[in-house]
Amino acid sequence: MEFFNWYIIWLMILFSLLSPSPSFMQASNGYDPLSLTNFLHDYANASLRNLHTGTLYNISLPANFSGMEASFVRILSAKFWSRGANFSSFYIPPKVIPMPSGRRLAIVFENLGNWSSLYYKVSNYTLVAPVVGFMAYDSPSGTVIGNQKLTFTADGDPITIRFPHIDAAQGENMTRKCVQFGDWGTFEITNMTSENECITRGIGHFSIVVASPPTPAPAPGKKKRNRKWFVVGIVFGLAFLGLVMIVTFKLLTRRKLKSMEKQSEKDVAFDTFWVGRSKMPSASMTRTQPYLEHEYVP
């Protein structure tokens, strides 16, 4: 029985090793853009005080984010609509409408610097500029930044993104393209509008990419599949081996029990009982039941 329990535990360990799919492992590498955005939101709210509207503030990030930059501005909605905003890497023209509307809005700008390719990946493309982004929130009086995320409706001129730094060496003669990242790892690739500019009509995260040099694609795919089948083979092999061992074990115990039974039939001529350390023969307790004569009523 104990053996059987161990076997079950073994199987569970093996299957838990096998089960996580590659996509799951990729998602849990610890660099989740959404949680970064939420972190910056909370950090801006916690670290900034006594703000002037219309002034851009650098957010000094914790040391373990070194290489990343973030800044914050709080703007009156009326001014935002009439004059637009020109901060960080973004030029937002007039007549962009934040939704839902309020008296003020707060914008958090990000530049992921050397962290860009950890948080954002574009299959078949290589990032050649840091990922920059901006998120807009409500800004109720009393707090620095609200919890309500805003969206922008730009019917007129689009928002312009100027990239502070483009890696010229990488993909030297290749066509650069703009990439806009959506939620859940989605992205959209468009043409650049000028030397180092992209345009957008909404909030989000942006970068520049070039097509990756074609990799010998089938080789890693095949290798991966082979390895997977190898693991599957090992697991089923072990499972089968375990089964065989269980059956053998059971057969052996049954045979042993039978021989023990036979042996005890031979050994125990008398019933025995123990007195201290010695085994004593004893007569059976049950004898022929005496019966009383007068009970017999003819």
Ligand X SMILES: *[C@@H]1O[C@H](CO)[C@@H](O)[C@H](O)[C@H]1NC(C)=O
| 91 near ligand X (CB under 6 A) | yes
- How many residues touch ligand X (CB under 6 A)? 26
Nearer to ligand X, 7 or 88 (CB): 88
Q: Distance (Å, rounded) from C-alpha 259 to C-alpha 101?
A: 88
**Nearest distance, CB of residue 8 and ligand X, angstroms:** 38
Residues 6 or more apart whose Cβ sits within 8 Å of residue 53: 74, 75, 76, 104
* 147 binds ligand X, rule: CB under 6 A: yes
Q: Which is nearer to ligand X, 203 or 209 (CB)?
A: 209
Binding segment toward ligand X, per CB under 6 A, in 15-23, 142-150, 245-253, 266-274: 142-150
Please choose, out of 57-65, 200-208, 222-230, 274-282, the segment that lies near ligand X by the rule CB under 6 A. 57-65
By C-beta, is 114 or 248 nearer to ligand X? 114
How far apart (Å, rounded) are the C-alpha atoms in residues 137 and 260? 80
Stretch in the footprint of ligand X (CB under 6 A) among 63-71, 197-205, 230-238, 242-250: 63-71
Q: Cα 254 from chain centroid?
A: 49
Q: Does 280 bind ligand X (CB under 6 A)?
A: no
Report the half-sphere exposure of 273 (CA within 13 A, side-chain side): 5
Using CA atoms, how far apart are residues 134 and 169, in angstroms rounded to an integer?
27
The only residue of 29, 64, 141, 194 in contact with ligand X, by rule CB under 6 A: 64
Given candidates 43, 80, 115, 163, which one binds ligand X under the rule CB under 6 A? 115
CB of 67 to ligand X, least distance (A): 3
Q: Does 114 bind ligand X (CB under 6 A)?
A: yes
Minimal distance, residue 249 CB to ligand X, in Å? 50
DSSP string for residues in 246-278: HHHHHHHHHHHHHHHHHHHHHH-SSEEEEETTE
Q: What is the distance between the alpha carbons of residues 48 and 145, in angstroms, rounded to a whole number?
A: 10
Only segment of 75-83, 118-126, 203-211, 269-277 that touches ligand X (CB under 6 A): 118-126
Q: What are phi and psi of 66, to 5 degrees?
A: -50, 130
Please tell me the distance from the alpha carbon of residue 77 to that of residue 101, in angstroms, as a whole number: 8
Q: Give, as ranges, the residues between 153 and 212 that touch ligand X (CB under 6 A).
A: 172-173, 175, 191
Residue 25, phi then psi, degrees to nearest 5? -65, -35
For ligand X, the closer of residues 133 and 242 by Cβ is 133
Judged by CB under 6 A, does residue 67 bind ligand X? yes
Determine the Cα–Cα distance for residues 47 and 24; give it in Å rounded to an integer.
34
DSSP-assigned beta bridge partners for residue 291: none
**Which of 4, 15, 42, 279 is in the footprint of ligand X by CB under 6 A?**
42
Q: How far apart are alpha carbons 60 and 44 in whole angstroms?
A: 9
Asked if 82 touches ligand X (CB under 6 A), the answer is no
Q: How far, in Å, CA of 94 to CA of 238, rounded?
A: 68
Candidates 11-19, 39-47, 223-231, 277-285; binding stretch for ligand X (CB under 6 A):
39-47
Q: How many C-beta atoms lie closer than 10 Å to residue 202's C-beta?
A: 14
- 217, 219, 269, 297: residue in contact with ligand X (rule CB under 6 A): 217
Residues that bind ligand X (CB under 6 A): 42, 45-46, 58, 62, 64-67, 69, 86, 91, 114-115, 118, 123-124, 143, 145-147, 172-173, 175, 191, 217
